[in-house]
Amino acid sequence: MRKVEAPTLEEAYQKASQMLECSISELQSEVVQHPSKGILGFLKKNAIIVATCKKSVPNKSESVVQKEESLYVQSPEESVASEIIATVKEEQVIQSEVLETILEKDAIVDRFFEVDHDNEAADVEALEEETIVYDELALMIEDQLKELLSHSCFDIDVVEVDVRDNTALIFIDGDDAALLIGKEGYRYNALSYMLFNWLHAKYELFIKLEIAEFLTTQQEMIRNYIKPVIENVEKQGKGKTRFLDGILVQIALEQLRERFPDKYVAVKTGREGKKFVVINEFNNNNKTNA
């Protein structure tokens, strides 16, 4: 029985077959740990298997004895005695193999649970390492964002970044926060678009940008606006919003998907490029008219 570790399961099986000197098809194995690519290159895990070879190699000494015994001519009495002895030996061999198989399976099960126990501690350690990685990433993004805003003409004195669940939570505030938002949120939309393209391309992160209380205010406004839309969907089974600008369409999409998890909720674009949200049954998801 061998414990084998490799970057992938395929490599682990090949390595085990070389160590046990048998083909992969003759391996009897248990997967102890599946491989994992990790997050942002960290916390990578190798594949771990416990393998044995099904092929049983005959005992050399027994083969020689059998060959020597075949040279002798036995009497009827000796033949009967030999058959009885052979039968007893065969039963002993079978019992030994069964006992060995049971012990082997018990050992594999014991090892499995031992590794599983270790994995539980490893998962806690991985979670702690992931938190450390996210915290370091948040501080790095925060410093870079402060440097970027220091070159603008806006008086911004609060920049905070927190990274959780592959999302950068960004909070910006200051005396010129309203100016940074702009009329109808056009500067907010531009900054949000710029930050998303930067962080998603470089760190594969999504973003949630809050300037002063702009996002919170917009979420509350959309929550009040979609109440009639929700009522209509509950009665008719489908519905749609009016045309929405910038971040509003994304907020409406999130809130409606949360309210109707079993329906088709998507953003559609009108002829003039304006966007709106439709709610339909999944089998009608090709229809844009609700």
Strand intervals (E) in 136-235: 158-164, 167-173, 206-211
In contact, 225 and 251? CB cutoff 8 Å: no
CATH number, span 136-213? 3.30.300.20
- Pick the closest to residue 268 from 209, 188, 201, 256 (CA basis): 256
Question: Is the sign of the CA dihedral 249, 252, 253, 254 positive or negative?
Answer: positive
pLDDT score, position 276: 92
Residues 6+ apart with CB under 8 A from 243: 270, 274, 275, 276
3-state secondary structure labels for all residues of 15-57: HHHHHHCCCHHHEEEEEEECCECCECCECCECEEEEEEECCCC
- Strands 167-173, 206-211: pairing is parallel
pLDDT score, position 287: 46
Q: What is the mean pLDDT of each run of 10 residues along the chain (290 residues)?
A: 84 86 83 74 76 64 52 55 63 63 58 54 60 83 90 88 89 88 81 89 88 83 90 90 82 90 90 87 55
Q: What is the DSSP letter of 182?
A: -
pLDDT score, position 279: 92
pLDDT score, position 172: 92
Could you please state the CATH topology (level 3) that the domain comprising 217-284 is classified under. Ribosomal Protein S8; Chain: A, domain 1 (3.30.1370)
Q: What is the DSSP letter of 263?
A: S
pTM: 0.43
pLDDT score, position 178: 85
The amino acid that residue 194 corresponds to is M
Average per-residue pLDDT in the chain?
77
